[in-house]
A and B are shown apart, each in its own frame.
Chain A
Amino acid sequence: MSTRRIFARPARYAAIAPYLWMALFFLVPFGIVVKISLSQTAIAQPPYTPVFELGEGWEAFKAAFEQLSLDNFRLLVSDNLYILSYLRSLVVAVTSTLILLVIGYPIAYGMARLPQRWQGIAMILVIVPFWTSFLIRIYAWINILQHDGLLNRILLALHLVSEPVAWLSTDTAMYIGIVYSYLPFMILPLYATLAKMDRALLEAAEDLGASPLKAFWLVTFPLSLPGVGAGILLCFIPIVGEFVIPDLLAGSNSLMIGQTLWLEFFTNKDWPVASAVAIALLVLLVPPLVLYDRLQRRQVEGGR
């Protein structure tokens, strides 16, 4: 009893720390963005009204509060520029996540099957690109994909094409960039689940009459689903909001939501609409998150 009391207090304080962090660096900024999204744009400093001034008393606060409206959200629904942007973001994110899964799974599987001492090296090889700045790596892709870039020169030298292919400013270039950048985020969680899988399970499956392929499908794959889920989540959510890669590699005829947001914020200087775009994006991403959480929990409960 007494030992419990001694340890309980600091433990309780320690448990508060992450919530404090979340409140300070997530909830407060989130609240500010929500407020801006409900404001109107203005040529002022800051560029929106109303502005809450704590010094002007309760009445002024109430008046300011009454000025808040959902106009910006109505705009998001009425102007199909935004809807198209969201749709494109979703399409790009789903497509790239699928490609990532198809490429990442065999790589992770291969890594997990390597002899122990090679697994560490393979892991480092996956992580090594992170040592170079993300932006520089994307610029490197511009270099590779441009008119007289490495890819075209190789294709020409191999006589696979007769004239340079326009890679840059296409969706293909964007997908190459996204898949390249996010591949480690897909591989690492998959590798983590595949590496800790008991080889005896596969042997048991084969012993019971499953061919190696069947054993993979009936045992390895279902047991790697938590890794698949984590990989999908780690890739899908940031890709939906991706800005740099589509901006540098894709064409400008259709925009992802991150680009639209940038446009509203920096080109149109419309902070309220930009904030509304951001909030709507967040709301859009909540369902898959909840779904994933639920699946994960069911797995844990089913497992116990």
Chain B
Amino acid sequence: MAEELAKTANHSTTEDTALRRATDMPLLRIEGVTKRFGNFTAVNALSLDVRAGEFFALLGPSGCGKTTLLRMLAGFETPDEGRVLLAGRDIAQVMPHERPVNMMFQNYALFPHLSVRDNIAFGLRRAGMARGEIATRVAEMVALVKLEGLEKRKPDQLSGGQRQRVALARSLARRPQVLLLDEPLAALDKKLRESTQAELMELQRRLGMTFIIVTHDQEEAMTMASRIGVMDAGRLAQVATPRDLYEAPASRWVAEFVGDVNLFEGQVISREQGRLKVTTREAGIITVAEPHQPVTKEIVTVAIRPEKIKLSRRGLASAVDALQAINRFEGEVAEINYLGGLTAYRIRLDNGAVVRSVMANTARLDVDGYGSSERVAAWFAPDDGVVLEQ
């Protein structure tokens, strides 16, 4: 049954794709959208394209405007400026009940007086679907989210995970052009969240639908999304694949928001052979690879992820290759945090700066670990440093 559904969904997507190719438009285009609440600008002249079949995540701290943006896509808020084009049609002023998008709500918003079946059928009945067709579709949906046998239950006779599935089935039942998900996993515990993430991805891939998810959980966004838009104060700070977001952040803010990072501010003193030398207050001279975009500013920030900073014992320095010697700092272990798979170290460098380093615990027995106050050398390759100009 699910296969069939996937087939029909795929079919409609191919048609959509053909249509879009003809007009050369993404499925969803947000153009200069602004939304103000009184004096507060929640979304500020934001533009974004989402292609059909994408799993797109809007990531940001609370209050960054990501939920407002999602609510504008659903129709619960009307933009003050700008256009929202869905398959070429401006839907900015269209009422929520007339939009071909559906939303999965943060706390599911299941109708407490209706059974699982009636919750899922709600949207289909509004669409004026024939009774028999509704029954078939509901059965498909119930099977899709593995809720067989629970059709007659009311929402408060279900567990949190089951409620989440009903909400998903209900929002998918109408086969929306875009499915909006507002923190869909926030109410689940960690284990359930991880398995549900995998199921959501599988579902999205199989149905070939376009998902836009709002989340404040970067791990969730990284795991599920094919592209992530990081929002800050009503604007998109960066739109990129999870990998680019992490390895090539566009700004200091993004680098700090996504994952942990060591930041060194300094002045560019030379550029030669694709290498940039930056003199920093905290760590002396750092050599990094010059980015593709030529650096125009004098004062830059060098960002290095903690796992890119390797540690070695002082005595072994002579044995490592010359590459290591370029960015090499002497210091001592100030703090050790054992995290299971990883161990996080804080190294106090001799010039006073503190850098963070994360090492994978690849062996069960702790023969190679570093002890507290042990003298170590922290080093990283020039390619592992990212030069940020803002």
Contact = CB atoms under 8 A, between A and B. Distances in A.
A200 interface: yes
A94 interface: no
A303 B96 contact: no
A303 B112 contact: yes
Contacts of B113: 219, 222-223
Contacts of A204: 103, 105, 109-111, 170
B1 interface: no
B112 A203 contact: no
B97 A206 contact: yes
B102 A200 contact: no
Interface string B151-188: 00010110000000000001100100000000000000
Contact of B107 (A200, A210, A214): A200
Contacts of A198: 107, 109
11 contacts: A200-B106, A200-B107, A203-B74, A204-B111, A206-B76, A207-B75, A207-B96, A207-B103, A208-B171, A209-B98, A304-B157
B174 A201 contact: no
A207 B102 contact: yes
B96 A219 contact: no
A198 B75 CA distance: 18
Interface string A217-235: 0110011000000000000
B74 A208 contact: no
A207 B97 contact: yes
B126 A200 contact: no
A117 to B, nearest CB: 15
B127 A201 contact: no
Contacts of B75: 206-207
B275 to A, nearest CB: 54
**Most chain B CB within a 10 A radius of its CB, from A203, A206, A209, A222:** A209
Interface of B: 74-76, 95-98, 102-103, 105-107, 109-113, 122-123, 126-127, 154, 156-157, 170-171, 174
B112 A208 contact: no
Contact of A214 (B112, B126, B127): B126
B69 to A, nearest CB: 16
Interface of A: 198, 200-201, 203-212, 214-215, 218-219, 222-223, 302-304
Given A208-B122, A208-B126, A209-B126, A201 B109 contact: yes
A167 to B, nearest CB: 43
Which 3 A-B residue pairings sit nearest by Cβ, starting from the closest? A209-B126, A208-B123, A204-B109
Given A203-B103, A203-B105, A302-B154, 6 more contacts: A200-B105, A203-B96, A204-B110, A206-B76, A208-B122, A208-B171
Given A222-B113, A303-B154, A206 B123 contact: no
B154 A200 contact: no
Contacts of B107: 198, 200
Nearest to B180: A207
Contacts, number: 72
A208 B174 CA distance: 8
Contacts of A210: 97, 122, 126
Contacts of A302: 154
Nearest to A200: B109
B156 A304 contact: yes
A303 B97 contact: no
A9 to B, nearest CB: 35
B126 A303 contact: no
Contact of B174 (A209, A215, A303): A209
B105 A209 contact: no
A210 B128 CA distance: 11
Nearest to B98: A209
Contacts of B95: 206, 211
Given A209-B174, A222-B113, A304-B156, A203 B126 contact: no
A6 to B, nearest CB: 34
A201 to B, nearest CB: 5
A206 B96 contact: yes
Contacts of A203: 74, 76, 96, 103, 105, 109
A203 B101 CA distance: 13
A93 to B, nearest CB: 28
B11 to A, nearest CB: 22
A177 B289 CA distance: 87
A165 B357 CA distance: 91
Nearest to B101: A207
A198 B96 CA distance: 17
A59 B230 CA distance: 95
A210 B125 CA distance: 9
A302 B113 CA distance: 8
A234 to B, nearest CB: 22
Nearest to A302: B154
